[in-house]
Amino acid sequence: MRKLFLALASLVLAGTSSANLIIYDGFDYSTGSLLGKTNPSTGNNYLRAGTSTNPTAINVVSGSLASPGGTYPTPVGNSLALTGIGDNSGSTDRLALPSTISTGTVYYSMLLRGDSLSGSNNTTGGFFIGLNNTGNSSQTTNPSVAAARIQSRIDPTDASKYDLGIFSNVAATAGATSWSGPIALSGTHLIVCSYTFNTATATDDVASMWIDPDPSTFSNASAPAPNFTATGSDISSPGVSSVIFRQSPAPFFTMDEFRLGTNWSDVFTVPEPASLSLLAIGASLLVRRRRA
């Protein structure tokens, strides 16, 4: 029986040894505040990370966003709505990584739909997601670190649409070259961002963003050329320890299928539940054998 268990474990490890998907969240929770929900891929809870005592602007809502097609996995569970009042009231939730990342490249992806321009502006707007250097703890002040942050605003040339911008741990500027063009409300888009550590100076780490990347690249070993890049102050020590979701003066969004990993191809995959079930079966059989 022990040999059977070891054989099953070997199969599981062989099938997952190349996978570096660190966080997966299809927001398969009951509806309501994200705060306090337990992410199944990390075992960590979403914790408060801002001045708001109850970040009610970040909520799990019914239904999934549409799949972008290609080889992208079918969305599951519910989705996440960021519908704040458009100020800096501190509606922020933090999810810690299992361990800090301080070298190489961190990628994250999500499905994103713009729902309303309420509360935003046409200059710099606000950011709604970023990589943070604090681990599995809460705080009552607004985070000061948000690397590879996605900023959003009302498009300055078309007040019916919004822009996305990528910024690398610096305050956004209205004239930055890392802003996208106008994006229409209601459509669902696949957004991928990355943060690459460099060591020459304290301002040479690079944040990148892809909007609706070609599905034919999803399984590639390396990323295609990004649509937008930005540099700025490097993330503070110890490195990327968590991801933060925030509603500041940004348009209202619905988000789904969040993934974070260390390879481009990771953020288009999900853990293999069949492999995990196989290992669980082997463990159960081994326990029964020992009790017999």
Other beta carbons less than 10 A from residue 138's beta carbon: 14
Short-list 6, 241, 230, 214, CA closest to 137: 241
Beta bridge partners of 112: 189, 255
Q: Domain spans of the chain? A: 1-19+280-292, 23-270
Residue 34 in contact with residue 59, Cβ under 8 Å? yes
Residue 106 in contact with residue 193, Cβ under 8 Å? no
Beta strand pairing status for 105-116 and 188-196? antiparallel
Residue 71 in contact with residue 268, Cβ under 8 Å? yes
Query: pLDDT (tens digit, 0 to 9) for every residue of the chain, 292 residues total?
Result: 444 333 433 333 333 333 589 999 999 999 999 999 999 999 999 999 988 765 568 999 999 999 888 889 999 999 999 987 655 555 899 999 999 999 999 999 999 999 999 889 999 999 999 999 999 999 988 899 999 999 999 999 999 999 999 999 999 999 999 999 999 999 999 999 999 999 999 999 999 999 999 999 999 999 999 999 999 999 999 999 999 999 888 999 999 999 999 999 999 997 655 433 433 343 344 334 433 4
pLDDT in the model for residue 276? 39
> For the CA atoms of 269, 143, 239, 163, what is the dihedral angle to 10 degrees?
50
CA 111, CA 64: separation in Å to the nearest integer? 10
pLDDT in the model for residue 270? 76
CA 283, CA 1: separation in Å to the nearest integer? 10
- Calculate the CA 153 to chain-centre distance: 19
Provide the b/e sequence for 181-210 (b: ≥16 CB within 10 Å).
eebeeeebbbbbbbbbbeeeeeeebbbbbb
CATH number of this structure's domain 23-270, picked from the four choices 3.40.50.10310, 2.60.40.10, 2.60.120.560, 3.40.50.720: 2.60.120.560
pTM: 0.86
Q: Which amino acid is at 119?
A: G
